[in-house]
Amino acid sequence: MKPFEESELILTPENRLYHINLKDEDIADTVIVVGDQNRVSAISKYFSKLDYTSEHREFIAHTGYYNNKRITVLSTGIGTDNIDIVLTELDAAVNIDPITRKEKTNKRQLKIIRLGTSGALQPEINVNDIVISTHGLGFDGLLNFYNVDDNIFEHPISKEFIKHTNWLDTLPYPYCVKGSDELISKFKGLNNVHFGITATAPGFYGPQGRQLRLKSAMPQLNELLTSFNYKGLKITNFEMETSALYGLGKALGHQCVTACVIIANRINRQFTKNYSESVEKLIQLSLEKLT
């Protein structure tokens, strides 16, 4: 195999991946990713020990120990474009030799958990509840730029969704990828925890059906998402990262799951009054379940 060129595999002088500023030994097998930079320290404050910290642009990383388990927490910023950077560079850091610039023979599999916030699309999901994403349904088009094994996609769900919504031809193909059964199972049997498809949008306003001065191309989108049902599987929530996380993660051989606290119900027009408290509970629950 030819080495990856300098313009493709971009490294710092310390052989860390350029954007996330991490190399193999900086990264634990379990990685928690968060959008908000401030949420990194909100998680690592529970660690008994920190052995690596880094900050570059919006990418802040803390690696340390919780209950004797090594964990890396890494901020991604918002959107599937940033997930593209983070997932690609995490994988490159652990599975490409920075000296030879070639793939390693023995690959590391990371367990990647996204902790985030989200808006519910089902009336029975209350604000401050937690949603675990069984699937990511991507409206972002990111995975369409990659030549990946077609088996990672849940095409029957996508086709039924296209039919149900009369999906516009001008919009990207809504690809669908399943999350890690092993990681999803860690959250089962808990109160106020819901499971379902997470719709991932490439923006916060029009792509999620919000209308200010510009009108939406699909003004009934949220109602169509709420009424979608594929063999009992419903679309539970809307956010901006999960489809890319699940798609790239599965294509690269990693396990991924998203757990989101619901801060708004888009159907009932409700918004949480205790945002920080709800996020704190999600952090504590996830650390407990992961260790």
Q: Could you read off the pLDDT of 198-234 as tens digits, one per residue?
A: 999 999 999 998 899 999 999 999 999 999 999 999 9
Q: State how far the alpha carbon of 57 is from the alpha carbons of 19, 37, 45, 82, in Å.
A: 8, 10, 21, 12
pTM confidence score: 0.96
The pLDDT mean for the chain works out to 96
The residues, any chain, with a CB within 8 Å of residue 245's CB and separated by 6 or more, are: 33, 83, 87, 112, 114, 136, 256, 258
CA pair distance 105, 31, nearest whole angstrom: 22
| 66-93 pLDDT per residue, tens | 999 999 999 999 999 999 999 999 999 9
- Model confidence at 274: pLDDT above 90: no
Query: In the chain, where are the structural domains located?
Result: 1-108, 116-291
With contact defined as beta carbons under 8 Å apart, do 126 and 268 qualify? no
What per-residue confidence (pLDDT) applies to 58? Answer: 95
- Model confidence at 291: pLDDT above 90: no
CA dihedral (234, 239, 240, 246) positive or negative: negative
Query: Is domain 1-108 classified as CATH 3.30.450.40?
Result: no
Its CATH class, for the domain covering 116-291, is alpha beta
